[in-house]
Amino acid sequence: MTESLLLVADDGAVRTLTINRPDKLNALNAATLDALLVAFDDAAENPAVRAVVLTGAGPKAFVAGADIAEMADLPAVAGRDFSQRGQRLMRRIETFPKPVVAMVNGFALGGGLELAMACHLRIGADTAKVGQPEINLGLVPGFGGTQRLLRLAGRAATLELCLTGAPIDAARAQALGILTRVVPAAELADATRTLAAQLAAAAPLALRAILDCVHVGGECAMSEGLEYETAQFGLMFATEDMREGTRAFLERRKPDFSGR
């Protein structure tokens, strides 16, 4: 991993990944995409990590987009390859077995919004702005923006954001379902830390099953999603965490989940 591009910090069972290119507003170049993919692979394999927070360095941007300087002179085949590189990362995050929270501390534009939308939950500062401005570059969103925005915000809002390229403020982004929660900028770090700690303390196997159920259900017919949910529900009865959780409820105490 290239440490200069990505900062990694652990606080208990929560790992924070900070994209560290503040002079470029944390724009996503190929090296940063690769560093993030390695970092998520490492977090997935580390049993001590139970939740991940993703954010950008500096006060201005979560991620202001893909690195235009790197893209400007790419031929068509290389452009397609860059899109595929980004989409591999977004898919990795979207299907990650542990909760991923985006802490949107400023601009989340283009590839930045696509990165945030791949995360399971998104907390934004009230000063944040989001958008898909690729049309202004003669491009289309390339890291899954048309598809994830469609699923989060609906057809009309997706067409508006992608066709006009105009950013929207945090309040509207929350109303459209793009941001999960909006808090005052001064409270963003604490609010994100509290949520991530809550997720990290929850039953890991149940968390993963819920993530899987929602992901599978979003890509299949209702009947298939219900069948998958039932299967996951049944599997939880074979876990120590389910026994611990039900015992703790009956004994009126806080559960201590082991991930087994």
CATH of the domain at 149: 3.90.226.10
Of 174, 184, 181, 209, which is closest to residue 195 (Cα–Cα)? 181
User: 183 and 61 share a domain?
Assistant: yes
User: 132 and 226 share a domain?
Assistant: no
Q: Is there a domain that residue 164 lies in? A: yes
Of 86, 85, 6, which is closest to residue 52 (Cα–Cα)? 6
Q: Is there a domain that residue 259 lies in? A: no
Residue ending a domain, choose from 161, 177, 200: 200
Q: Is there a domain that residue 89 lies in? A: yes
User: 211 and 113 share a domain?
Assistant: no
pLDDT for the residue numbered 114: 98
User: 184 and 209 share a domain?
Assistant: no
Q: Is there a domain that residue 260 lies in? A: no
User: 45 and 88 share a domain?
Assistant: yes
User: 117 and 15 share a domain?
Assistant: yes
pLDDT for the residue numbered 2: 44
**Full residue range of the structural domain in which residue 224 is found:** 203-250
User: 171 and 208 share a domain?
Assistant: no
Q: Is there a domain that residue 255 lies in? A: no
Q: Is there a domain that residue 105 lies in? A: yes
Catalytic site includes residue 114: yes
Catalytic residue among 114, 224, 240, 251: 114
Tokens 């509207």 sit at which residue?
172
pLDDT for the residue numbered 102: 98
pLDDT for the residue numbered 3: 54
User: 171 and 186 share a domain?
Assistant: yes
103 phi, psi to nearest 5 deg: -100, 100
pLDDT for the residue numbered 40: 98
Tokens 């604490």 sit at which residue?
190
pTM of the full structure: 0.93
**How many Cβ atoms are within 10 Å of 211's Cβ, its own excluded?**
18
User: 194 and 230 share a domain?
Assistant: no
User: 158 and 208 share a domain?
Assistant: no
Is 102 exposed, middle or buried (CB count within 10 Å of its CB: 0-12, 13-18, 19+)? buried
User: 61 and 177 share a domain?
Assistant: yes
| Residues forming a β-bridge with 28 | 66
- As a whole number of angstroms, the distance between CA 223 and CA 69 comes to 46
Catalytic residue among 3, 45, 134, 244: 134
206 phi, psi to nearest 5 deg: -70, -40
pLDDT tens, per residue, the chain with 260 residues: 445 899 999 999 999 999 999 999 999 999 999 999 999 999 999 999 999 999 999 989 999 998 888 888 899 999 999 999 999 999 999 999 999 999 999 999 999 999 999 999 999 999 999 999 999 999 999 999 999 999 999 999 999 999 999 999 999 999 999 999 999 999 999 999 999 999 999 999 999 999 999 999 999 999 999 999 999 999 999 999 999 999 999 999 999 898 89
Q: Is there a domain that residue 109 lies in? A: yes
Catalytic site includes residue 229: no
Question: Is residue 120 a contact partner of residue 148, using CB atoms and an 8 Å limit?
Answer: no
Structural domain total, the chain: 2
User: 24 and 76 share a domain?
Assistant: yes
For 225, the token pair is: 């999603």
